[in-house]
Amino acid sequence: MVFCGLNQGGPRLRVRHPYGRIGALPPAALGRRPPRVPQTETRLSAPTLPEPGPAGETVAGEPPAPVVPARPASRRLGHVEAFEGMRGIAVGIVVIAHLNILVPVPEYLVVPGGVVSLNSFFVLSGFLITTLLLKEHASNGRISAPAFYRRRALRLFPALLAMLAAHTVYAAVAGLDAVIQIKSVLAAAFYFMNWRLALTGNDLGSTQVTEGLQHIWSLSFEEQFYLVWPWVTMLGLTYARRLRTVVIAIVAVMIIVSLHRANQYASGASWYPIFIRTDTRFDSFLPGVLLAHIWFRGREPKKFVPLAGWIALAILVVCLFTARIDEPFLYYGGMTLIDVSCAVLILAILDGRWRANRFFELKMLVRLGTVSYALYLWHLPVMFALRRWTIDINLLTGEREYSVSPWITVPASLAISLAFTLASWYLLEKPAMAWKRRIEGRPVDSLAPDDRSGAVPSGATATEARTSAFSARSRP
């Protein structure tokens, strides 16, 4: 068999023997005139190179693109039910701790260490918010502060403003001081309640804040963190920053704030302002922030995480029943110990191998955590309203005279608080979150960590394999 083709030496005939190729001979060797090749076939075009493919491969027609080193892997945090359970436990502890408003028991007898629940909110918020900011920076190369504030406003304002409007009606009906009521509502609406309490209060509380709004101090403290943290992340602690630098900076600030708090307490200042001021409590967010940076880069420890989770849980349980907010322990390192333990607890939940995850994922706790923001808002105003109408308190002796038994007022307060909570969730919060998702172009039924946070992820973990709650992906 004979085949004609082009080669650098001119047209040649390739001779193929029936039993295999035996060589290539020029046409003249066979006594034939070389065939005429059309001009269009003899033109040589410039050599073409493949165009770049997805993994450094190339496709014909384009020059090769330079090989770009792969960027470090980043992560995306999905909906983690155990975090909702963690919030459910925390808000339940807060509600139980405040039952002393209605029940004739010493304030610290119900839950002495209620600070554990508040600190868990702060640490979890630090982790979730920082994770969202790092994800946005890794995906887009920047962080949109206006979009961040819009999401926070749509998540927090509807329920808060509704509660403040209802409380204003109650204050008018109950005859509370109008000036104090207006100042208190403004302090709650603009998130400086913690400073109003700190500047006007003492160990016995403050008479310059209307009853039922004192608990807004923690939301004010949290919102102050939301106000500054996007800028800190954008200007300093970005995803591009070396992890070692981030760790040194965050640990240094934690140490400085902890020493400042201890110095304030040692100087003889009242514990009450120290407990609620921003400058003496800001470090409560930082263990969660630090964990977010470590986890988002996939640098979290792999060994002994479940064991560390059990140790952290034991520390928190002990502190829950012993760490009173008016005693020195919290101000001489106890607050930091609780914060770090909460961060370790979050790490154990993310690890997926910790058996206690099943407890935090109990449906009752998850559902309670889902509506924890509204329950936190409403429970204290309801309790103070019931106390005003069912209990007469002697201001000099503190003795109480009950017109209605606590066996009735306590269940009634819980039922009324739950009713307001569900109304807030279904009529205000869920529609606001759906609207927020439409603005962002996401499906209305999609979930994101910031939708739940109102206080509220080496390789594939067991939790990732089981629930796909969080997934690893490469930075674009």
**Region for 10 from its dihedrals, namely left if φ exceeds 0, alpha if ψ lies in -120 to 50, beta otherwise:** left
Give every residue of the chain whose pLDDT is below 70, as ranges: 1-75, 106-109, 202-206, 442-476
- CA 197 to chain centroid, in Å, comes to 27
- What local confidence, expressed as pLDDT, does residue 79 receive? 85
- What local confidence, expressed as pLDDT, does residue 19 receive? 45
- What local confidence, expressed as pLDDT, does residue 63 receive? 52
- What local confidence, expressed as pLDDT, does residue 461 receive? 34
Q: Give the integer Cα–Cα distance in Å for 389 and 170.
A: 12
pTM: 0.78
**Region for 11 from its dihedrals, namely left if φ exceeds 0, alpha if ψ lies in -120 to 50, beta otherwise:** beta
Q: Give the integer Cα–Cα distance in Å for 76 and 56.
A: 25
* 3-class DSSP state of 126: helix
Residues contacting residue 271 through CB under 8 Å, at least 6 positions apart:
203, 265, 325, 326, 331
- What local confidence, expressed as pLDDT, does residue 205 receive? 62
- What local confidence, expressed as pLDDT, does residue 36 receive? 55
From the number of C-beta atoms within 10 Å of its C-beta (0-12, 13-18, 19+), residue 154 rates as buried
Whether the Cβ atoms of residue 80 and residue 470 lie closer than 8 Å to each other: yes
- What local confidence, expressed as pLDDT, does residue 366 receive? 97
In 38-178, beta strands by DSSP E: 50-52, 58-60, 73-77
- What local confidence, expressed as pLDDT, does residue 396 receive? 74
- Looking only at the bridges linking them, the beta strands covering 20-25 and 12-17 are antiparallel
- What local confidence, expressed as pLDDT, does residue 344 receive? 98
Count of Cβ atoms closer than 10 Å to residue 21 Cβ: 10
